[in-house]
Amino acid sequence: MMKHIFKQGTDPAAPVLLLLHGTGGTERDLLPLADRLSPASSVLSVRGNVLENGMPRYFRRLAEGVFDLEDLVFRTKELNDFLDSAAEQYGFDRSNLVAIGYSNGANIAGSLLFHYQGTLRGAILHHPMVPIRDVALPDLTDVPCFIGAGSNDPLCTPQETEELNQMLQGAGASVTLHWEQFGHQLTSSEVAAAAAWYTSTFKNE
Ligand code: MLT
C-alpha cells in the first residue's frame, strides 16, 4: 500500500497518468501537470514510501546522486505491485499508464521501465538520471519517452542524460530529448514541450 490520490477521469480510453514527485514532494505536487496534459485522463499520484530527513522519496540514496541500488530494486517492485493492485481497486486499464516524473520521481519511473516489461505505456521524465547500470533492459519498442533535461543541471549532467537516452533507445524506445538551461528546475517551457509531445504522441492516434 502506498499513499496516493486517484482521480477518475472522464475519458476511459485516455491514458491513466501516473504522477511521481521529486524529493521532498507529495502526491499533490504534479496534479497541475496532469490537468495541463490530459484533463480527461484518470490520475494516479503516488507518494514515495521512503523518508530522508522527513522528505518523501521513492528509494534511498547514500549521498546526493548515489543510489542505494538494493533499495531501488526493492522499491521499484513495491511500486510496480502497487500499480497492479491500484488498477484492480479502481478498475483502470493497467496497460494504459503513462508516467510523469520529476527528479527522484523520474528516476523511479526510469527504474520501472528498466525492470518491468509493459509496466508503462510511455513516460515523461523531467530531469532523470540513469537509475541503475548493468541490467538488461526489456523491449521498449512501443514505449515512447520524453526526457526534459538541463544543459547546466548539476545533478543530472548532460552526459548522464545522453547515457540514459542511449540506453532507452538501445532497448527500442523512441525518445524525444528536450534541453533547457535552468539547472535542475522544471520550467514552464519544459512543461509546454512535454505537453506538445504528449499531444502528438497520444492524442493523434
Ligand atoms: C535522486 O536522488 O533521485 C536524485 O538525486 C534526484 C533527486 O532526488 O533530487
Span from the CA of 11 to the centroid of ligand 1 (angstroms): 33
pLDDT number for residue 203: 87
The finding on whether 23 has its CB within 6 A of some atom of ligand 1 is yes
Helices (H), the chain: 31-37, 69-90, 104-115, 158-170, 188-198
Q: Mean pLDDT over residues 65-80, rounded?
A: 97
Over residues 165-177, the pLDDT tens digits come to 999 999 999 999 9
pLDDT above 80: residue 15: yes
pLDDT above 90: residue 205: no
- CATH code at position 180: 3.40.50.1820
Sequence-distant (6+) residues with CB within 8 A of 175 are 144, 145, 146, 147, 165, 168, 169
pTM here is: 0.97
Among residues 103, 111, 115, 126, the one annotated as catalytic is: 103
Tell me which residue range forms the domain holding 134: 4-203
Q: Mean pLDDT over residues 146-165, rounded?
A: 98
pLDDT above 60: residue 18: yes
Q: Taking a C-beta distance cutoff of 8 angstroms, is the pair 72, 56 a contact?
A: no
DSSP 65-88: TEE-HHHHHHHHHHHHHHHHHHHH
Determine which residue's CA is closest to atom 8 belonging to ligand 1.
104
Query: How many structural domains are present in the chain?
Result: 1
Q: Taking a C-beta distance cutoff of 8 angstroms, is the pair 104, 75 a contact?
A: no
Query: Closest ligand 1 atom to the C-alpha of 104?
Result: 3
The finding on whether 134 has its CB within 6 A of some atom of ligand 1 is no
Q: Is 153 annotated as catalytic?
A: yes
pLDDT number for residue 204: 63
Distance CA 175, CA 39 (A): 24
Among residues 29, 111, 127, 153, the one annotated as catalytic is: 153
Q: Mean pLDDT over residues 141-145, rounded?
A: 97
Q: Mean pLDDT over residues 17-29, rounded?
A: 98
